[in-house]
Amino acid sequence: MFRNLPLAERGVAMIEFAFASGIMVVMVLGILAYGEVLATYVQLKYAVGELSRQVAMGDDLTDRQARYAAAITQVNSSYGFSSGCAVFAPSPFQGEVTITGRYYLDREGCRTMPSLMLPMPSELVAHNKFSVP
């Protein structure tokens, strides 16, 4: 089988596979890392929306503040955000309300996939703006 091949071409396929497999592994890990970032952003966007819905259901300022305080612990536990990774900041609960959620990817324990020399964002931001009477 190998007698017909010139001596210089033996093992070329193995060397080509070694080069190509390294690049392919980095590409697959990059896809997984960006998929994790996208999934985290979608969870953050839904969490900000859920907080907004809870605040919008309040009757007055004190009721909205109480609803926000109750909803923030529920959102952190149900969406699986680690302590210190997700930070939510509401504006005053009167008139036009903006709830901003930030998820810090560069903090310890906030990511599961390694970045492997890929440019990754350090934080994700989601906003939701609505009006209350």
Q: Quick check: 2 pLDDT over 60?
A: no
Residue scoring higher pLDDT (11 or 48): 48
Token readout for 94 is: 């009167």
Confirm if 126 and 41 have CB atoms less than 8 A apart.
yes
Residue 79 confidence class, pLDDT cut points 50, 70, 90: confident
Q: Mean pLDDT throughout 104-130?
A: 86
Q: Which amino acid is at 26?
A: V
- Cβ neighbors of 95 (< 8 A, separation 6 or more) are 131, 132
- Output DSSP code: residue 119: -
In the prediction, which pLDDT does 87 show?
A: 92
Instruction: Give the range among 7-11, 54-58, 72-76 with minimum mean pLDDT.
Output: 7-11
Does the pTM surpass 0.85? The reply is no
- Cβ neighbors of 73 (< 8 A, separation 6 or more) are none
pLDDT in tens, 13-38: 888 888 899 899 888 888 888 899 99
